[in-house]
Amino acid sequence: MMTLRERGLLAAGALLLATTGLALVATAPQRSATGTAEPTATPATDVLREGVVGTITTLDPLYASDPAEQDAVALLFRGLTRLGADGTIEPDIAESWVTSADGRTWTFQLRDDVRWEDGQPLTADDVTFTILTLQHPDYDGPLGRPWRDVVVQRLGRYEVRFELGTALGSFLAATRQPIVPAHVLAAIPVAKRRAASFGTRPVGSGPFRLAALEAGVARLVRLGPPPGGGPPVLPVDPLATLLPRTPAPTLPGLPRPELSGIDLRTYATPLAAADAFRAGDLDAVGGLPAAIVAELARLPGVRRIDYPTTVLTAVVFNLRDAASPFRDVRARRALLAAIDRSSIVATVLGGAAIVADVPIPPSSIFHDAGAAEPELYDPPASAALLTAAGWKQNAGAWSAPGGGAPAHFEVVTLDAVTNPTLNSVATRVVAGWAALGVAADLTGLGPAELFEGRLLPHEFEVAIIDMNLGNDADLVPLLASSQAALGGANLAGYQSTKLDDLLSAAQGPADGATRRARFVALAASLAIDLPFLTLYFAERVELVRERLQGPVPREIGPDSDRFWDVLTWHLAGTPAP
């Protein structure tokens, strides 16, 4: 049975891979930088115009999956905790928490001054209702798996406790889960939640509320009473019985955003978003392919913000077959040395990535640059390693041990329509192997066919995929022996008792210094064993007008994490709030 962390990462990884294409759809043909329209005059308003590639169907945080939906949810709802500076997790709805000595029990004390936008208090009832909804057998959204092994208990009006089946040092990051209002949703059967109007008329807790959801734009305004006073005008859901609404008071304990509002403008393609930014219709845009980023970054008055992410691009071998030539670590290391990762980052990604030698993000507090020696691009070393592993070279082509014919295998990845960047990277990887004399055919597949048809049933030889490791760099799902069975998240099928112990120790409860030392030991072991080939950690590039002040880059998981410091954002030349 999958544990909290194992199911959670698999679900999050599958979601990321399935939705990445929405942010990186086909980019050809691309326009040149010449002959473009002059930007329109910058409006004198403190409403940020943010461009997002995607669509908004629902703003229910338990069902949102599109990047545009996740962006809006990050601004409309709060979790028990939130991202802080320098890789920290800070209180949000929660005021404080304590953990048991064995790391299995977490007790949270909630603030008593947080209100829903309709004026109702946010309490432990809302927290327990949210988790119980995610655990309900009728729940069919993307976030249920991480919470199935957790027992949630209301201890008081502002106190809630979680009991974990397995102690997790990374559990705190999971408590960023957005909380939904029980008093609005409790009367709606879970099976009918997708059809409820809450998805388009959400009742959130801030820092913004939805003013209007129109074609191509979600208009968000700073949380507080409407102009002139009185309760917000919200339609009554025919499936729910709503309590009387009162205006949300100004809460001195909760800082308000400096921006009076944010217009999230959605676009079907990166080209459409780029055109809008180029024309001056947007203050910020991100998630664009490298070629478009390079062009737009050259426009006057535009700067780029690079957010390091926890998204790892890797080469995964299916090591379950005892006859696989890739079971020999020397063969895997040979193929790694034949990949010019620095060139891929510079050309395909426009520099918006960091070459990875271990599967721990360089931006993570657990990363140690000295834990592993860098693996350099070195084709002669590749040839020597293949020879040492028993491969034979004839007329420039390599044959695996025990095989007379030249080696030839299939590499699967996402297709160029779904994710052109990943597909281009995979093309470069296969070309590097071909130059070495190791032939491979690249097969691009749609998300469902890749994950459900090939990866999860283990019907593949080699795969090149993106994996979101999360802010706590949890590698247990990807590498634990318990996850090598069918349906598990250990796609490579790699099994090692020593590695299992190191993984368990790294994710066990401990102080920061101890956990960091454990991650260093884990990284050193992974650099030796090389269960899969790490290529790079991507960066999220946001292009902004100079008038937007305040955003500070930090490590993010989903793109919506870039709003971690949105309370401090402001537009130069507009009145103070």
Candidates 286, 302, 296, 282; CA nearest to 49 is: 282
Tokens 């919200």 sit at which residue? Answer: 234
The three-class DSSP label of residue 405 is coil
Would the CA dihedral through 356, 360, 364, 366 be positive or negative? negative
Which pLDDT band, with edges at 50, 70 and 90, does 509 fall under?
Answer: confident
Checking if the pLDDT of 186 tops 80, the result is yes
What tokens does 318 get?
A: 């299916």
Residue 484 is predicted with a pLDDT of 85
Provide the pLDDT for residue 235: 35
Q: What's the pLDDT at 565?
A: 95
pLDDT at position 252? 44
Query: Pairing state of beta strands 462-468 and 408-414?
Result: parallel
Is residue 287 within 8 Å of 272, Cβ to Cβ? no
Concatenated DSSP letters of 534-575: EEEEEEEEEEEETTEE------BSSGGGGGGGGGG-EETTS-
Pick the CATH number of 307-538 from 3.10.105.10, 2.60.120.1440, 3.40.50.2000, 1.10.10.60: 3.10.105.10
- For residue 167, is pLDDT > 90? no
Question: Can the peptide bond before residue 325 be classed as cis, meaning omega within 30 degrees of 0?
Answer: no
Q: What pLDDT does 165 receive?
A: 86
Q: What is the pLDDT of residues 375-401, one digit of tens each?
A: 999 999 999 999 999 999 999 999 999
Q: Which is more confidently placed, 11 or 533? A: 533
Residue 104 is given by DSSP the state -
What integer pLDDT is reported at residue 29 of this predicted model?
29
Confidence of residue 560 (pLDDT cuts 50, 70, 90): very high
> Is the predicted pLDDT of residue 237 greater than 50, yes or no?
no
For 333-352, what is the mean pLDDT? Answer: 96
Q: How confident is the model at residue 168 (pLDDT cuts 50, 70, 90)?
A: confident
Buried b (16+ CB within 10 A) or exposed e, 199-221: bebbbbbbbbbbeebeeebbbbb
Q: What is the predicted pLDDT for the residue at 31?
A: 32
pLDDT in tens, 207-224: 999 999 999 999 999 985
- Mean pLDDT over all residues of the chain? 85
Provide mean pLDDT across the span 398-413: 91
- The three-state DSSP-derived secondary structure of 251-288 is CCCCCCCCCCEEEEEEECCHHHHHHHHHCCCCCEEECC
Lowest mean pLDDT among 17-26, 365-374, 463-472: 17-26
- The answer to whether residue 46 scores a pLDDT higher than 60 is yes
User: For residue 296, what are its two tokens?
Assistant: 């737009």
Asked if pLDDT for residue 234 goes beyond 70, the answer is no
Mean pLDDT of 355-376: 91
pLDDT tens string 61-116: 999 989 999 999 999 999 999 999 887 899 999 999 999 988 899 999 999 999 99
Q: How far, CA to CA in Å, does 357 sit from each of 225, 306, 336, 479?
A: 51, 20, 10, 16
Q: How would residue 44 be classed by pLDDT, with cut points 50, 70 and 90? A: low
Report the pLDDT value the prediction gives residue 217, as an integer from 0 to 100.
96
**Whole-number pLDDT of residue 3:** 38
* Tokens encoding 295: 């062009």
Intrachain domains 28-288+547-571 and 307-538 with the same fold: no
Q: Tokens 């979600």, residue?
A: 218
Q: Report the pLDDT value the prediction gives residue 43, as an integer from 0 to 100.
A: 56
Which pair of tokens denotes residue 240?
A: 């729910």
**How many CB atoms lie under 10 A from the CB of residue 442?**
16
pLDDT at 228 over 50: no
Per-residue pLDDT tens digits for 424-470: 999 999 999 999 999 999 999 998 899 989 999 999 999 999 998 88
pLDDT tier for residue 9 given thresholds of 50, 70 and 90: very low
468's CB contacts (< 8 A; 6+ apart) are: 9, 12, 13, 16, 309, 310, 311, 312, 557, 558
* Cα 298 to Cα 4: distance, rounded to the nearest angstrom: 45
Residue pair 457/463 in contact (Cβ under 8 Å)? The answer is no
Q: What is the pLDDT of residue 403?
A: 78
Residue 229 has pLDDT above 60, yes or no: no
Place of tokens 């409309």: 76
Name the fold adopted by 28-288+547-571.
Answer: D-Maltodextrin-Binding Protein; domain 2 (3.40.190)
Alpha-carbon gap, residue 520 to 210, rounded angstroms: 44
Indicate the domain borders of the chain.
Answer: 28-288+547-571, 307-538
Helix (H, G, I), strand (E, B) or coil at 388: helix
> What average pLDDT does the segment 15-25 reach?
31
| Polymer length of the chain | 577
Of 356, 252, 254, 362, nearest to 314 by C-alpha is 356
Q: What is the number of other CB atoms lying within 10 angstroms of the CB of residue 498?
A: 9
Give residue 164's Cα distance to chain centre: 23
